[in-house]
Every structure is written in C-alpha cells, then in structure tokens.
C-alpha cells in the first residue's frame, strides 16, 4: 500500500517500475554517497568528519514536494488546524447571519405579533413603511458579534470533539458508528457555542421586536442589564439549547452524510480528483439540504426563544399557552426554511472555502480520518 506521503512526492520517486528519471536519480544518490565515502577515507585527521544534514542526501528521507502540491500547509489536528477552523467558523456564521438580518427581523416579528405581521410580504411592507430601509438592519451588531462567537465555538470545537471521540472509539467503531460521532461532537460543541451566543441573542431579539427600546448593541446591552440584570441575558439559554443543539446535530451529521452520498452516487470521480470549485459546490449543496432539515427540527424552540426574549418575566408555559403547540411548529416556518437553508449552505461554502484557502481539505466525503490512518499503519 502506498504511503500517505506519496501525494507530496513526484511519481518517479516511488513508482515500482523503472524509468530513465528514477535511474538517473539513483545514479545521483549513489555518486553523492560514493563521493562522501571517498572523501572520508582521504581525511587524515583522526577526528570524525561531521556531515551537515542539509548537504548529505539519504535515500530514506529524500522527499521532494510535488509541483502540484503546495509547499506549505497546516498539519491536520494540530493547534494551527483548530485555529483555522475556529476562524473559518467566525467568518461563516458571523457574516451570513448579519447578511440575512432583514429576514430574521421579519421572522421574529411574525413570531411575536402574528396578527400584525401576517405574511412575509406584508411583514416587509410594514417594516418599510414604519421604519424605512434602515429598519431592515436593526440589530445587525449583536447579530454579527453573537454569531461570530457562536461560529468560532461551533466549528472549532466540533472538529476537536469529532477527533477526540473518534480516538476514544477506535478506528473500527469510528467507521461503523461515524454518524454517532458526528452527532456527539456537534452537540458537545453547541453547548459551549450557545453560552457565547445567548447574551447577544437576548439583546438582538429585544432590539428587533420592540421599536424604541434601543438603536443597537451599544445602548441596548446596558439598558437590558439595567432592566433584567445580568441573569436576564441567560434567561433564554434553556430554549436556546433546545433550538440550537438539535439544529447543530442535524446540521453537521446530515451534512457529512449528504456530502458523502453526493461523492458516492452523483459524482463519478473520487473527491481528491475533483476540482476545488466542484468540491465547494458540493459543500454548498449539502449545506442547503441540511439547512432545510435543521429549520424543521429546531423551529419550535426558535419560537420559544423569540417569545421569552421579547416578554419580560415570561415563561415557557406562557409561550405554549399563547402560541399553542401547533403554532410552535408552524408559525414563521416557511420563511425560516428559506432563511436557514440559504444560511447553512452559505456557511458550509464559506467555511470550506477558507479551509481550502489555508491549504486544508474540504469537510466530508471520505471515511473518518482516524480509521484511514489506522488501516494505513496496519498495512505498512
């Protein structure tokens, strides 16, 4: 079996067949070794000759980077790898959520006041009439800051927990129960991510659904704390976990599965033979489909979060009584499917684009890395 390092070596250095280039390389190595041996015999000093590693060539570790591979890269699962995934998460979540602020604004108001905001089109019309174009981006600062913090923890810790749980399970069980690894890793990451998001989400919802409460984060945060205390910032943490943990579990597990199926059934070539553009297209498509599932699974909790953060002193029981069980599942759902589908597709596209930019592979589409490494080591 070929070594994983072969991708960094021109084919003539590890080809089993003889070729003029491999014969010429052997001659160069042999002549260099013979010259070094003859020079040491002619040396009259009793002190042993010291050879510099930079000048003496060894067949065992003589590696040449292939022209088609980047000379620099980030080692998988190194601190630099997790840092890159964390920064990619900041870009993918912060920027995308900020971009869809107008949709989020209409969605939140439809959930809080359905009698006034009866549909998507009427919701946009009412906001435009009452608040003007600027009103569509009310709350964009807490949105950007909150979801950037959430994205950093979500993607960075997902990669960490996925690797950690894979190592604990071992290569055999990781390959057999890979979906459970994805679910456990994403759930663990989201618990941490929502703690970072919750204060910003509380301020965002209050700013977006109560005109006149505040202009944005700078005046909305101290006003919120003065009204409800610092504990009020985390009043919606339970419902937020109820919304985001199922959402993220579906987001990562379904994405990994969908992408693997696309490469297996829809694309004739293996992933490593596809262009980077095609791989990023697969990431967006897989992310969009995963986003539709995410919206459906997490929508009841999303209605609860909006209701609790809008009404001071409200409880989950109050929300269920006012909205109704059916309303929790259906109110604002079509708009959220469009928003979350587009959002999730764009997030995976941006995240994998950043990974490609720094020299890392895109997410999904191959067997779990620990299993591959174990099989390679066993057969080496």
Q: Tell me: the pLDDT tens digits for 77-130?
A: 999 999 999 999 999 999 999 998 998 888 888 888 888 998 888 999 999 999
Query: What's residue 56's pLDDT?
Result: 39
As a whole number of angstroms, the distance between CA 182 and CA 160 comes to: 11
> Is residue 245 within 8 Å of residue 190, measured between CB atoms?
yes
Residue whose C-alpha is closest to residue 294's, from 344, 364, 238, 349: 344
pLDDT value at residue 354: 96
Query: So what's the pLDDT on residue 310?
Result: 76
Reduce the DSSP state of residue 215 to 3 states and report it.
coil
| CA dist., res. 288 & res. 170, Å (int) | 31
SS3 content of the chain, % helix, strand, coil (to 5): 75, 0, 25
Structure token digits, residue 343: 């959002």
CB hemisphere CA count around 65 (13 angstroms): 7
CA–CA gap between residue 263 and residue 216 (Å, rounded)? 44
User: Which pTM was predicted?
Assistant: 0.71
Alpha carbon distance 197, 235 (integer Å): 12
Six token digits for residue 254: 């379904």
Q: Which of 137, 118, 141 is nearest to 128 (CA)?
A: 137
Output b/e per residue, 319-349; b: 16+ Cβ within 10 A: bbeebeeebbeebbbebbbbbbbbbbbbbbb
**Selection from 264, 263, 206 nearest residue 233 by Cα:** 206
Query: In angstroms, rounded to a whole number, what is the distance separating the alpha carbons of residues 114 and 368?
Result: 46
DSSP one-letter string for 222-275: HHHHHHHHHHHTTTTHHHHHHHHHHHHHHHHHHHHHHHHHIIIII-SS-GGGS-
pLDDT at site 308 = 82
The CA-CA-CA angle for residues 110, 200, 137, to 5°, reads 50
Q: With left for phi above 0 and alpha for psi between -120 and 50, is residue 93 left, alpha or beta?
A: alpha
Parts of the chain with a pLDDT under 50:
1-71, 369-380
Q: What mean pLDDT value characterizes the chain? A: 81
pLDDT at position 367:
55
CB 354 within 8 A of CB 88: yes
């Amino acid at each position: 079996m070929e070594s994983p390092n072969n991708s960094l070596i021109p084919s003539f250095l590890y080809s089993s067949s003889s070729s003029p280039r491999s014969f010429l390389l052997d001659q160069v190595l042999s002549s260099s070794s013979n010259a070094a041996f003859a020079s040491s015999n002619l040396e009259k000093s009793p002190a042993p000759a010291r050879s510099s590693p930079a000048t003496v060539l060894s067949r065992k570790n003589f590696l040449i980077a292939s022209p088609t591979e980047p000379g620099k890269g980030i080692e998988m699962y190194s601190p630099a790898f997790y840092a890159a995934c964390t920064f990619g998460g900041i870009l993918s979540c912060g920027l995308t959520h900020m971009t869809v602020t107008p949709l989020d604004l209409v969605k939140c108001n439809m959930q809080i006041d359905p009698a006034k905001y009866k549909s998507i089109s009427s919701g946009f019309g009412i906001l435009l009439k009452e608040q003007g174009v600027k009103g569509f981006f009310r709350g964009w600062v807490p949105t950007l800051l909150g979801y950037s913090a959430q994205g950093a923890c979500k993607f960075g810790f997902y990669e960490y927990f996925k690797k950690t749980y894979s190592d604990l399970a071992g290569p055999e069980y990781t390959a057999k129960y890979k979906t459970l690894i994805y679910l456990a890793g994403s759930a663990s990451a989201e618990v941490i991510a929502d703690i970072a998001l919750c204060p910003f989400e509380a301020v965002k919802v209050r700013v977006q659904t109560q005109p006149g409460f505040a202009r944005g984060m700078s005046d909305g945060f101290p006003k919120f704390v003065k009204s409800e205390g610092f504990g009020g910032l985390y009043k919606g943490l339970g419902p937020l976990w109820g919304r985001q943990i199922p959402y993220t579990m579906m987001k990562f597990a379904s994405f990994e599965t969908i992408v693997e199926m696309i490469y297996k059934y829809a694309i004739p070539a293996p992933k490593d033979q596809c262009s980077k553009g095609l791989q990023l297209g697969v990431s967006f498509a897989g992310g969009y489909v995963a986003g539709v599932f995410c919206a459906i699974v997490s929508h009841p909790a999303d209605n609860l979060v909006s209701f609790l953060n809008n009404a001071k002193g409200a409880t989950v029981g109050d929300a269920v009584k006012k909205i109704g069980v059916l309303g929790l599942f259906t109110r604002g759902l079509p708009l959220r499917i469009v928003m979350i589908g587009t959002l999730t597709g764009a997030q995976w596209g941006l995240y994998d684009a950043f990974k490609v930019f720094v020299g890392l592979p895109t997410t999904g589409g191959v067997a779990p890395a620990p299993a591959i490494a174990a099989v390679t080591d066993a057969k080496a």
